[in-house]
Structure 1
Amino acid sequence: MTLPVHLVETLAHARVGAPVALEGDEAHHAVAVRRMRVGERLVLTDGRGRSVVAAVTATAKRSLEAVVEEVADHPEPAPSVTVVQALPKGDRGELAVEVLTEVGVAEVVPWAAARSVAVWKGERAERSLARWRATAREAAKQARRPWHPQVAPLARTEDVCALVAAADLAVVLHEEATEALSALSVPAAGRLVVVVGPEGGLTEEEVAALVAAGARSVRLGAEVLRTSTAGLAAVAALLAATPRWG
């Protein structure tokens, strides 16, 4: 049976035979929802590459204690992938974050593109960012990822251009592009950046700015994908051309 996965703040001092504690909402979920009992085993991860298998020794309403049986350190996946996701309408932002986390991206950057229907301002921006981060956290546990993705604060176009300029390969998905994503030579290491536009599409000015910063304007195929799934398709196509998925 696959062991349940829970997130802890740190496993820096974890070693076989040592105690480890799970507290707060994560512990409540393990004890009250999963009904973990003394003697059962689970996986704990810090989301930064270290995970342990541990056996439960004690439980309370919002705490769980266990003893470490195995410790594993996982190298950070290469190449690293950042997806700049233009704000979609409704709950499609959380869908995008969920599938991008499952496919293995290292960072998701919400972007206020010119034609984005959704607007993040004030308290709404804080709530929306919190939902995206919670979605990434839960999806990473579901996907059993030892490295959890980061969800950055809301970016402006100039911020996105800076990310593009620093990348080893950056692509912007554009339905009018003549170059196919599948024709690119993808580096085996370093940082890849994928820019996904909003439902209304990218403006000519945005495409020009991103290309000037170093992005390749590419198309996925004849089909037009939703903004919430286009990033997934693009990342999968890129990673399939690297040893990471080889």
Structure 2
Amino acid sequence: MSSLFLRPDLAVVPHTVGDVVVLGGDEARHAATVNRLRVGEHTSVGDGNGLVVSGIVTRVEPKELDVLVEESVLHPEPVPRIVLVQALAKGDRDELAVQTATELGVSAVIPWQAERSVSRWVGAKAVKGVERWSTIVREAAKQSIRPFVPPVGDLVDTAQLLALAEGQRMLVLEPTAEQRLSGLRFDRLGDGSGDEPDTPPILLVVGPEGGISPRELDRLAEAGAQPVRLGDEVLRTSSAGPAALAVLNVALGRW
């Protein structure tokens, strides 16, 4: 059960030690009826942007819950940011990838309409798709008690993805690549406290079930993206991104 609940405006209400933070709406209902929090238990409330307060529950109602703050921490965002560019996939495989990537600490998610994507987001479906992924990310961040809720960007096509490669380190997961992801070097730049130089994010590109097309691979390489592989196995699109994130977490000293 999650013990982190979200209040987006937490930073603009009293939230220091000794203050009482009121949780309302769906978050309070979830805390009271699903998590069954009771007076005297401890929980945490965050704003999804690094601020997290922890304390003791002093009042529980169906639509409101009071937390007496015992600790208030503003967490810096890890540097460099890791952005998952996840190709749309059939079934719920892309959603599983996004959920697990959030639990593993990804900084942001961008949906990609790849050439071989079976799933197609067109018109209103694209808006609903982003909303669906945003909900998945939000719940996964709460479940894993993350200070940050990764934003989900708008759907991009390959041309728009190529534009994102400029000035950033883009890694494309490709089973036929010669370079192993585990063999790359990454600077461990600390915790984002402000002492580090401006560092571009790492864009991790994951293709759909049928893989990234040769034409797309060529265009991405021309734009400066680097193809990398994990091991000798070919992973599904639902597991490739999370597996790569695990490698990056170790390489960056986060695990």
1:239 to 220, 245, 249: 249
Matching of residues 18-57 of structure 1 within 5 Å: 18-57=19-58
Q: Tell me the equivalent position of 1:7.
A: 6
Deviations 1:222-245 (A, max 9, x none): 110001110111121122112323
**Corresponding residue of 2:226:** 216
AA paired with 1:112? Q
Q: Shift of the alpha carbon at 1:66? A: 2.4
Deviation at 1:54, TM superposition (A): 2.4
Distance 2:187 2:41 in 1: 43
The aligned runs of 1:140-155 (5 Å cut-off) are: 140-155=141-156
Note closer, same or farther for the CA distance 1:92–1:3 as it changes in structure 2 (3 Å cut).
closer
1:121, 1:187 → 2: CA distance? Answer: 39
Q: TM-score, normalised by structure 1?
A: 0.92
Return the TM-score normalized by structure 2: 0.89
Match of 2:95 in 1: 94
- 1:240 alignment partner, SS class: helix
For residues 1-246 of structure 1, the aligned pairs below 5 Å read 4-12=3-11, 13=13, 14-167=15-168, 169-189=169-189, 190=199, 191-245=201-255
Q: Which runs of 5+ in 2 are unaligned?
A: 190-198
Which has the larger strand fraction?
Answer: 1
**Which amino acid is 2:208 matched to?**
P
Distance 2:239 2:222 in 1: 26
How far did 1:3 drift? Answer: 7.7
Query: Counterpart of 2:90 in 1: which secondary structure?
Result: coil
Paired positions, count: 243
Q: Structure 1: which 4+ aligned runs deviate by more than 4 Å?
A: none
Tell me, yes or no, if the aligned pair for 1:114 and 1:202 is still in contact at 8 Å: yes
CA distance in 2, matches of 1:56, 1:220: 45
Q: Deviations over 1:130-184 (max 9, x none)?
A: 22111111111111111221111111212222222232x2211112222222221
Could you list the runs of 5+ residues in structure 1 that have no partner in the other structure? none
In structure 2, the residue corresponding to 1:225 is in which secondary structure?
Answer: coil
